Structure 1
Amino acid sequence: MTNRISRILIIGAGQAGAWAAHTLRQNGFEGELALVSNEDQVFYERPPLSKQVLAGEMDAAATQLFPSEVIEAMNIEWHKPDTAVAIDRVRREVRLASGKVLGYDKLMLTTGSRARVPVRAWSEIDGVHTVRTLADAKRLGETLLPGRRLAIIGGGWIGLEVAATARKQGLDVTVFELGERLCARSVVPDVSDFLHQLHSDQGVDVRLSCGAIDLAGTEQGAVQLSLDGIAAGRFDAVVVGAGAEIASELGREAGLDTTSGLVVDACGKTSDPDIYAAGDVAIHPELGYCIQSWANAQNQAISAALSLLGQETPYADVPWLWSDQYHCNIQILGAPGNGEGTEIRRDCGDGKVSFIRLGADNRLESMIAVNDAKLIKLGKRWIKARMQLPAEILADPAQNLMQLKP
């Protein structure tokens, strides 16, 4: 099939777009490879943005996914910074904001997601930030000076990572969360309690069930934050970490099947056989919703790129993501279960604690491990083997879990 495809166009140059391009070239595609990016800086990792980059411990060059010579060897026809605004599926063309029209034989959508700002006017306030791009992290990092006051709207993973980074920089940090607990959409209450205690112990003021939040700039350059119309504090900077919006509108407006994101099959193909999608924008083919993690973006893109070339490679990876906060490396495996099951807490001391969920059949559904990467690796093997597990052994920190090695 490769020799019948002369031109491939990729929209989006984040983790998924980078790995799609790399995979295509590494697997024999020698035709024209064009790529559209709304950022001038491309092919870089986003996880360090809220941690090492924000703290000034890592520069832009260190975030690059591939060495410069590898990127150069891909022989990419770049269109950046520019934005794709419409797809003509009949003519197999994409129109850009610049007015350019790019043709394709096959199209790959890796448009990802963007930071959600609940109130559009907040984006016009100088002291209000999001953390989604290198430029965002650099701009916010310049304000993180010891003694300053930082407010974070949203107690999800990005908000908590920024809170940890800012506290280590000596800032006074307050987290405002609309819900009743932290990271409520992705973890069980026991993990929310653990995260709350972790940040409180480090001096973060965590406020839950906040009610309506409003922001206003001041003449002094600070930001006034109000809760339900009552002034709640003046801050030197505010970070909006209120989740993400899936950037699926390009495909949706072109008539592709969508739900919360672009619907794809196990090989990344959309409802149009000439258009593939991967990463944040694409529905996980088994779970039925979008997964926002670098591992998903990378591996789903590899699968889709191979499949596009005729090497059908179904994607069914178990979700996995991680977060570094203070002295804790927190890894999350699997998806939260909604049915009957068993919740297990395994506390091994010395900051090593895990929260394990078994389904009704005693097979692992999900696991959150703090400072225990080996357990996560073992958990991946349990899931792959569909192994039934004894809850009493999992809960006993004196037991060596390698006895349960598949």
Structure 2
Amino acid sequence: MGHFIVIGAGQAGASLVAKLRKDGFDGDITLIGAEDALPYQRPPLSKAYLLGEMEKERLYLRPESFYAENNISLRLGETVTAIDPTAKTVTCGTEVLTYDQLALTTGSHPRHLPAAIGGDLDGVHVVRGLADVDAMAPEVTSGKRALIVGGGYIGLEAAAVCAKRGVSVVLVEMADRILQRVAAPETSNYFRALHGSHGVDLRESVGLDRLIAEAGRVTGAVLSDGSNLAVDFVVVGVGISPATELAKAAGLSLENGIQTDAQGRTSDPAIWAAGDCASFPFQGQRIRLESVPNAIDQAEVVAQNMLGANKDYTAQPWFWSDQYDVKLQIAGLNTGYDRVVTRQGQGRQASFWYFKDAQLLAVDAMNDPRAYMVGKRLIDAGKTADPAVVADPDADLKPLLKA
């Protein structure tokens, strides 16, 4: 059956190798990861783990014994430096490994602040991997002063954790509003109010001009509006970029990530890609989904196709974010929406329904699992919802599923 190599030991890579074995592949499998830790789940890093509410061992997707029992060669703390598609080899350290099929689940990199404005100072953190959060955790203590750069979900989640730990938080967002790239103004307004109620100083249309340091450590910040802040540490949440360096060097086609067909195959028929790093066709466009559900589902379809299934991956996008006592659940993609219908519940409960013409595209549901569940089922089935029913907080949503 040959040798299958998977580069990238995150959620997608771990899901892919497990699916290969589950579906009966009895050849050799090698999973290579640059981090020393066993494959782990990332979402709790910036939430429960940073808050000290989750032990490191609970982050691991599977115990180490799983890989040995399933005859999966797990190579951690190793970096692949080259792929040769013609020879079908990968270079890992001083070793050259030969593959029959290769899967790239290389994930993504956090964007850093430029060194010219202080991005490489001590006390400046990104939130992506286990080592990042372990480095930041000692800073997140009561009485400290934090600057959060970026008002996307990563920045807002970091702000929530810091505020819960008694840190004084200023969050700056260069755009006109937080979440501008990913959500409607209604959702931005909801989370602006939520963070304000927890004491976060949230400043929109304000960027970072530069950081100030003493002895190589950040001590302050100058903002684009000329204001000065004294800060003890900085958290940078300005997005991620797909990890495409290996693919590019190997001559694979790129388009906002590693370009794949509907089955996860790259421009080389023996090389596949899944997870954050992969861009794929979806409803007449090409997208890249940065989410755990996509990493799992896409990787499992790729595993099946590596075994000859010839199965298209049909994405059903959904996401979540936890901030304070609010659980945000998102179903669908809101790209191209022209109308938002608000369903207001009790207290913090609310949902925002995105439509294009008469078609339901997406739902943002805050502390409203029923709205999320109904919205997701409608979207997955290609159905829509009656806006009048959605807007009536007393109306039962479940009959929409039978329409």
TM-score using structure 2 length: 0.95
Structure 1 168/90 Cα, relative in aligned 2: closer, same or farther at 3 Å?
same
| Alignment check: 8 A CA contact 1:284 1:290 kept | yes
**Paired amino acid for 1:353:** A
Distance in 2 between the 1:318 and 1:67 partners? 29
Q: Is the 8 A contact 1:156 1:242 kept in 2?
A: yes
Ranges of 4+ aligned residues in structure 1 off by more than 4 Å: none
* RMSD across aligned positions (CA): 1.6
**Counterpart position of 1:116:** 111
Q: Secondary structure at the match of 1:364?
A: strand
Contact 1:43 1:64 in 2 (8 A): yes
Contact 1:280 1:291 in 2 (8 A): yes
Deviations along 1:203-231, one digit per CA (max 9) or x if unpaired, are 00001111443123223944321124945
Question: Could you tell me which residue of structure 2 aligns to residue 28 of structure 1?
Answer: 24
Distance 1:384 1:127 in 2: 43
Matching residue's letter, 1:51: K
Alignment of structure 1 residues 153-302 onto 2, 5 Å: 153-219=149-215, 221-228=217-224, 230=226, 232-286=228-282, 287-302=285-300
Task: Report what 2:306 is aligned to.
Answer: 308
Q: Which SS does the other structure have where 1:405 is aligned?
A: helix
Contact 1:268 1:276 in 2 (8 A): yes
| Equivalent runs, 1:96-175 vs 2, <5 Å | 96=92, 98-120=93-115, 122-175=118-171
Q: Could you say which residue in structure 2 is the equivalent of 1:337?
A: 335
Task: Find the aligned partners of 2:281 and 2:213 in 1 and give their Cα distance.
Answer: 43
Deviation sequence 1:274-331 (CA, Å, 0-9, x none) = 0000000001321412111111111110111111111233211221110000110001
Query: Post-superposition shift, 1:189?
Result: 1.2
Query: Deviation of residue 101 (structure 1)?
Result: 1.4
CA distance in structure 1 between the partners assigned to 2:65 and 2:374 by the alignment = 36
Q: What amino acid sits opposite 1:276 in the alignment?
A: W
- Cα distance per residue 1:221-277 (max 9 Å; x no partner): 443211249452121110111100110121122111111101111111111110000
Letter in 1 for 2:327: N
Match of 2:375 among 364, 374, 379: 379
1:350 aligns with 2:354: no
Q: Per-residue CA shift, 1:9-58, capped at 9, x if unaligned? A: 11000000010011011111111111211101031000001001111111
CA contact (8 A) 1:125 1:216 kept: no
Q: What corresponds to 1:367 in structure 2?
A: 363
Indicate if the aligned counterparts of 1:127 and 1:217 stay in contact, CA closer than 8 A: no
Letter in 2 for 1:226: V
Query: Is this contact kept in 1: 2:172–2:207, CA < 8 A?
Result: no
Secondary structure of 1:179 counterpart = coil
Cα distance in 2 between the residues matched to 1:67 and 1:146: 34
Does the 8 A contact of 2:38 with 2:64 survive in 1?
no
Counterpart contact for 1:363–1:383, Cα < 8 Å: no
CA gap 1:293/1:308 in 2 versus in 1, 3 angstroms: same
2:80 to 71, 78, 84: 84
> For residues 120 and 92 of structure 1, do their structure 2 counterparts lie closer, same or farther at Cα, with a shift above 3 Å needed?
farther
Partner Cα distance (2:173, 2:150) in 1: 5
TM-score, length-normalised on structure 1? 0.94
Q: Using a 3 Å threshold, how does the CA distance of structure 1 residues 170 and 371 change in structure 2: closer, same or farther?
A: same
**Residue 277 to residue 382, structure 1, CA distance change in 2 (3 Å):** same
CA distance in 1, matches of 2:346, 2:193: 16
| Structure 2: runs of 5+ lacking an equivalent | none
Is the CA contact 1:14–1:45 (under 8 Å) kept in the aligned structure 2?
Answer: yes
Task: Tell me the distance in 2 between the aligned counterparts of 1:385 and 1:245.
Answer: 31
Please tell me the residue identity of whatever aligns with 1:310.
G
Render the CA deviation track for 1:353-380: whole Å, top value 9, x for unaligned: 00001221x2210110001122222222
| CA deviation after TM superposition for structure 1 residue 84, in Å | 1.5
Tell me by how many angstroms 1:123 deviates. Answer: 4.6
Q: After alignment, is 376-385 or 128-137 more displaced? A: 376-385
Deviations along 1:39-85, one digit per CA (max 9) or x if unpaired, are 01031000001001111111210011123332332322233212112
In the aligned structure 2, how far is the partner of 1:377 from the partner of 1:43?
29
From 47, 65, 78, give the equivalent of 2:43: 47
1:124 counterpart SS class:
coil
Could you say if the C-alpha distance between residues 211 and 137 of structure 1 is closer, same or farther in structure 2, counting changes exceeding 3 Å?
A: closer
Once residues 279 and 385 of structure 2 are traced to their aligned partners in structure 1, the CA distance between those partners, rounded to angstroms, is 30
Q: Is the 8 A contact 1:344 1:394 kept in 2?
A: yes
- Inter-partner Cα distance in structure 2 for 1:203 and 1:69: 45
* Matched length: 399
- Which range moved further: 241-250 or 272-281? 241-250
1:94 aligns with 90
Identity %: 38
Q: Distance in 2 between matches of 1:283 and 1:403?
A: 36
